[in-house]
Amino acid sequence: MTRILEENTREVSEAAPGVGAYLRGYVARVRGGELGSIPAMAGLVLITAVFAVVHQGFLSAYNIEALVIQAAPIIVMAMGLIFVLLLGEIDLSAGTTGGLCAASMAVLVIRHGMTWWLGILTALVIGVFIGTTMGWLRARIGIPSFVITLATFLAFQGVTLILIGGEGSVNLPGNMPLIQLENSFVPLWLGWVLLALAVLGYAAVQVADALGRRRDGLAPVPFPVIAAKIAALAVLGSLFTYVMGINRNVATNAYFSSKAQGMPWVVVLVAVLYVGWNFVLTRTRYGRHVYAAGGNEEATRRAGVAVSRIRISVFVICSGMAAVSGLVAASLLQSVQSNAGAGNTLLLAVGAAVIGGTSLFGGHGRVIDAVLGGLVVAVIVNGMSDLIQGANSSGYEYVVTGAVLLLAAGFDAVVRRARSR
Amino acid sequence: MTTIPALELRGVDKSFGPVRALSSVNLTARAGEVTALVGDNGAGKSTLIKCIGGIHRVDAGELVFDGSPRTLTGPRDAAQFGVAIVYQDLALCDNLDITDNMFLGREEVTRRGTLDVNTMEKQARRALDALSVRTVRSVHQVVANLSGGQRQTVAIAKAVLWKAKIVVLDEPTAALGVVQTEQVLDLVRRLADQGVAVILVSHNMNDVMRVADSIGVLYLGRMAAQVKRVDVTQTQIVELITTGRSGDLGLSSAESAGVAT
Ligand SMILES: Nc1ncnc2c1ncn2[C@@H]1O[C@H](COP(=O)(O)OP(=O)(O)OP(=O)(O)O)[C@@H](O)[C@H]1O
Ligand SMILES: [Mg+2]
C-alpha cells in the first residue's frame, strides 16, 4: 500500500502467546492502574456478604428480585451518565430530567387520554430535546456543564411540580404495559431461552474476534481464556435465572395458585441497553472519538474530529437515558410523584458509575460500570433500609450514600494519580 | 541539488497587528533531508511552522509544494498537501493505546461500519517497524504509560503512517534525557531516509549539528541565512542566531541593525 508497507514485509505477528503470557499482560495492566471491574466486583461480593450475614433473608429470591428492580432505574441512568462523564462533564439534572419526562408521560396518558406508547415516545423526545439544548449550551455557548445542569436540576424539579399539580402524584393503572416492566416476569422457559441466546451470542462474538485476529496474523486472546469468560457468563446467568425461577409468592397453595416467578422484564431491557451502548462505545468510530475527546480534547480536535458535536451528543444520550430511567422508576412506583427524580436519584446514579470504575476526570469508563456499580448501590440502599428502621431512616440512607460516593470519588482520584505515572 | 524541493517558502510575511513576526522569509525543504530551523526566542519559528501547518494564513508570499504554489486556508489543506506537524505538546490521548492514537480521526472501519482493529494494529506495527523502532514493545500499550521518547516516537510514527511528505517537528528532544534524545535523533534521521522532508525546530545546537543537512536561521522574523550543514561551524550558527550575521553570511549590517531597533 504505502511505500513503507512495501518496504517492510517482516512478519507482524507477535507469536501467539499462551494463557500465561495473557494473564501476565493482564496483571501488568492492572498494576498500571487499569483496574477495570475488579474493585466493583470485589465491593459487590463483600457488601453482599456483609448484609447476608447481618440480615436474614437478604439473599432470598424475594429480596434479590427487589434488588434487581431497585437497581434497574439507577443502572439505566448511570449508563447515560457514563457518556457525559467520559468527556469529563457532569449532568446534575439527569434525575430531574427523568422525573420531568416521566411526569409528562403520566399527565399526557392519564389526564389527557393519550395512548400509552405515544406518551412514552413523547417522554423520550422531551429527554432528547433537553439533552440537545444542554449540550448546545455547553459546547457552543461555553457555559460549564455543572452550572447548566445545576440550573436545570432545579428548574425541571419545578416543572414536574407544576405538571403534577396539587394532587402530589399521578397514579398509573396496573394494566398499563409500562407497569409490566418492573412488576411482571419473563416466563421461565423464555428466561432460559434468552439466557441461552445471550451466552451463544457472546460466545459467537468472542470466537469470531479470535479467529479474525488469527487470520490476520495477530495474537488472539487464548482460547482457554475465552472459554473461561463464556463459562463465567453461563454460570452466573444460570444461577440468576434459576434463583429468579423460584416462586416468591408466600401465599401459593391449593387455594392460591398465583405464582411470582421468573426474572422481571426490566432485566431484558437493561441487557439490551447494555449490549447496544457497549457496542457503540467499543466498536464504532463514534465511541472511539468519545474516549479520545475525554482523554485530550485538543489532540482530538487537531485530529479532525468535530469535538463539539461529540460533546452535544453525550448530553443527548444522557438525557435520553435519563428519560428511560424516569419511566422505569415510574413503572417501579406505579406512579409519578411531584418530587420524581429529585432527592438522591442523581447521586445514586453518579455513585453507581463511579463505583463501577468510571472516572470523574474523563476518558475512563465502560458501560459495564453502570451495571456493576448500580448493583452495588442497590445492595447498599436495600441493605441499609433493612438495617435502619424508624423515622430517620431516609436521613441515614442519604448520609451513607453521600459518604459512599465521596469514597468512590476519592478512590478514582487516587487511581488517576497512579495511572498518570 | 536540482530536484524540486518538497516545500519552498518564498517571501513569506506574517504580522500580528503591529508585530511583524515574519518578513519576507525564504526556506527550502527537500525530500530525504533534515532541514533545521533555529533562532532565538521570539525569532518566529513557531509562527513559521504554524504558517506551514495552515494554522496561520500568510499575509504575503508563497508556499510552494512540490513545485506548485498553494494557498492554505486551514490545517486540513496542509494535511492534504502532505504536511504533518508533531507539536511540542505532542497531541496524544493519554487514555488511548498507541494504535488508537496513531489512527485517531482516521480510523479504519469494516464493511459493516465497525472499527477494523486488526487492520489498524497491523499498520501501526508496520509503521513502527519501518522506523526500526525497538523502544515500543506492544502497540496496545496505553500512551499514559510511555516515556517522553516513546511518546515522541508514536507521534512521529503517526506521520509516517499517514504518508506525510513533509514532517515538522517542534523541539522533539526538549524534554528528553541523553539516551532518549539519541533515540529520537536517530528516528529523525531514519524518517528523512524514508524520503520525507523533515523540518526540525530546535534550540539545541548539538542536535542540529548532528542531524541536519541544511540549517535555516531566523533572526527577528527574517531568514538570516539557510546554509548547508557541511559548510558551517557551530560557532557560525550561534553567531547567526545572536546577531543575524557571521562573516559574509547572514543579513547585511544595515538590515540586521535595521530590524533590531
Ligand atoms: N498569536 C500571536 N499574536 C501576536 N503576536 C504573536 C503571536 N504569535 C507570535 N507572536 C509574536 O511573534 C513573534 C515570533 O514568535 P514565535 O512564537 O514565532 O517565536 P519562536 O521563534 O517560536 O520563539 P520560541 O523559541 O520562544 O518558541 C514574537 O514577537 C511573538 O510575540
Ligand atoms: Mg516557539
A to B CB pairs, distance under 8 Å? 98
Q: Are residues B178 and B147 in the same domain?
A: no
In a shared domain, residues B4 and B30: yes
In this prediction, residue B2 carries a pLDDT of 62
Ligand with an atom nearest the CA of residue B203:
1
- In chain A, % of residues over pLDDT 90: 69
B157 and B171 in one domain?
A: no
Q: B208 CA to middle of ligand 2, Å?
A: 16
- B26 and B78 inside one domain: yes
Query: Is the CB of residue A7 less than 8 Å away from at least one CB of chain B?
Result: yes
Average pLDDT over residues A161-184: 91
Classify A32-184+264-420 by CATH class: mainly alpha
Chain B: give the shortest CA distance to residue A305, in Å.
Answer: 6
Q: From atom 17 of ligand 1, which residue's Cα is the shortest distance away? A: B46
Do B149 and B219 sit in the same domain of this protein? no
Spatial CB neighbours of A214, under 8 Å, sequence gap ≥ 6: A16, A220
From B14, B22, B45, B170, the mutation candidate for ligand 1 (largest count of ligand atoms within 8 A of CB) is B45
Grid coordinates given for B239: 553567531
- Examine the fold and report which residue of B145, B163, B181 is the final residue of a domain before the chain moves on: B163
- Pick the residue whose CA is nearest to atom 11 on ligand 1: B21
Domain boundary among B109, B133, B163: B163
CA distance B91 to chain A (A): 4
Q: Which atom of ligand 1 sits closest to the CA of residue B43? A: 21
pLDDT at B96 (0 to 100)? 94
Same domain, B50 and B153: no
CA distance A291 to B97: 11
Considering B163, B178, B199, which residue would you say is the last residue of a domain? B163
The candidate with the shortest Cα–Cα distance to A84, out of A269, A253, A293, A254, is A293
In this prediction, residue A13 carries a pLDDT of 39
Residues with CB under 5 A from ligand 2 (ion): B 46
Hey, how many other C-beta atoms are within 10 angstroms of the C-beta on A17? 15
Kindly give the number of the ligand 1 atom that is closest to the alpha carbon of B39. 21
Per residue in B104-114, pLDDT tens? 988 999 998 89
pLDDT digits (tens, 9 = 90+) for A361-382: 999 999 999 999 999 999 998 8
Give the residue on B whose Cα is nearest the Cα of A362.
Answer: B95
Greatest CA separation for chain A: 82
Say whether B92 and A296 touch across the interface (CB within 8 A).
yes
Rounded to the nearest integer, the mean pLDDT of chain B is 88
Q: What pLDDT shows up at residue A417? A: 81
Ligand 1 centre and the CA of B22: distance in Å? Answer: 9
Look at residue A255 in the predicted model and tell me its pLDDT: 64
Contact with chain B for residue A15, Cβ under 8 A:
no
B229 forms bridges with which residues in the sheet?
Answer: none
- Same domain, yes or no: B182 and B137: no
B116: closest CA among A5, A217, A213?
Answer: A213
Specify the pLDDT at position B90.
64
Q: Which one of B94, B119, B163 has the shortest CB-CB distance to A2?
A: B163
Residue A390, pLDDT > 80, answer: no
B164 touching chain A per CB within 8 A: no
Whether residue B122 and residue A420 make contact (CB cut-off 8 A), yes or no, is: no
Which of B19, B49, B220 is the pocket-test mutation for ligand 1 (most atoms within 8 Å of CB)?
A: B19
B40 assigned to some structural domain: yes
The mean-pLDDT minimum among A184-188, A391-395, A413-417, B185-189 falls in A391-395
Least confident of A53-57, A71-75, A167-171, A287-291: A53-57
Same domain, B144 and B188: no
For A303, which of B89, B104, B121 is closest by C-beta distance? B104
Q: Is B19 on the interface with A (CB under 8 A)?
A: no
How many structural domains is chain B composed of? 2
Query: Rounded distance, CA A98 to CA A114, Å?
Result: 19
Could you tell me if B75 and B171 lie in one domain? yes
Does ipTM exceed 0.90? no
The secondary structure of residue A184, as a DSSP letter, is: S
Whether the model pTM is above 0.95: no
Pair B170, B70 in one domain: yes
Confidence (pLDDT) at B254: 60
| Cα A327 from Cα A343, distance rounded (Å) | 17
Best mutation target, A86, A296, A310, to test chain B (most B CBs within 10 A): A296
User: Is the CB of residue A373 less than 8 Å from the CB of residue A355?
Assistant: yes
Answer yes or no: do B107 and A299 touch at CB < 8 A: no
The per-residue pLDDT for range A9-68, each reduced to its tens digit, is 333 334 456 788 888 888 887 777 778 888 899 999 999 999 999 888 889 888 999 999
The whole-number pLDDT of residue A252 equals 58
Q: Chain A contacts of B111, Cβ < 8 Å?
A: none
Closest ligand to Cα B21: 1
| Domain carrying residue B250 | 1-82+165-261
C-alpha cell at A394: 431516609
In a domain, B89, yes or no: no
For chain A, the residue count is 421
Q: Which residues of B touch A10 (CB under 8 A)?
A: 129
B239 inside 8 A of chain A by CB? no
Q: What is the DSSP string of chain B?
A: --SPPSEEEEEEEEEETTEEEEEEEEEEE-TT-EEEEEE-TTSSHHHHHHHHTTSS--SEEEEEETTEEE---SHHHHHHTTEEEE-TT----TTSBHHHHHTTTS--B-TTSSB-HHHHHHHHHHHHHHTT--S---TTSBGGGS-HHHHHHHHHHHHHHTT-SEEEEESTTTT--HHHHHHHHHHHHHHHHTT-EEEEE-S-HHHHHHH-SEEEEEETTEEEEEEEGGG--HHHHHHHHHHSEETTEES-HHHHHHHH-
Give residue A404's pLDDT.
85
In B90-126, which positions are buried (b, 16+ CB within 10 angstroms) versus exposed (e)? bbbbbbbbbbbbbbbbebeeeeeeebbbbbbbbbbbb
What's the gap in Å between A408 CA and the centre of ligand 2? 42
Looking at residue B175, what is its pLDDT? 77
pLDDT at res. A120: 97
Q: Higher-confidence residue: A136 or A165?
A: A136
Any domain includes B15:
yes
Residues with CB under 6 A from ligand 1: B 16, 19, 21, 39, 41-47
pLDDT in tens, B152-165: 889 888 888 888 89
Q: What are the residue ranges spanned by the domains of chain A?
A: 32-184+264-420
For chain A, the average pLDDT equals: 89
Whether residues B106 and B154 share a domain: the answer is: yes
Please report residues of A whose CB lies closer than 8 A to that of B155. none
Query: What's the CATH number where B191 sits?
Result: 3.40.50.300
Taking residues B15-25, what's their average pLDDT? 92
Sole residue written with cell 468510571: A358
∠ CA A215-A216-A221, nearest 5°, is 75
Q: Which pLDDT band, with edges at 50, 70 and 90, does A350 fall under?
A: very high
pLDDT in tens, A81-109: 999 999 999 999 999 999 999 999 999 99
**Ligand 1, pocket-test mutation among B16, B85, B89, B217, most atoms within 8 A of CB:** B16
Q: Atom 29, ligand 1: which residue's CA is nearest?
A: B42
Band of the pLDDT at B248, cuts 50, 70, 90?
confident
For residues B50-61, give the mean pLDDT.
91
The pLDDT score that the predictor gives to residue A2 is 39
Determine the atom of ligand 1 nearest the C-alpha atom of B47.
Answer: 18
Residues B52 and B171 in one domain: yes
The pLDDT of B60-84, averaged and rounded, is: 90
- Flag whether residue A262 sits within 8 Å of chain B, measured between CB atoms: no
Rounded-to-integer distance, Cα B135 and Cα A24, Å: 20
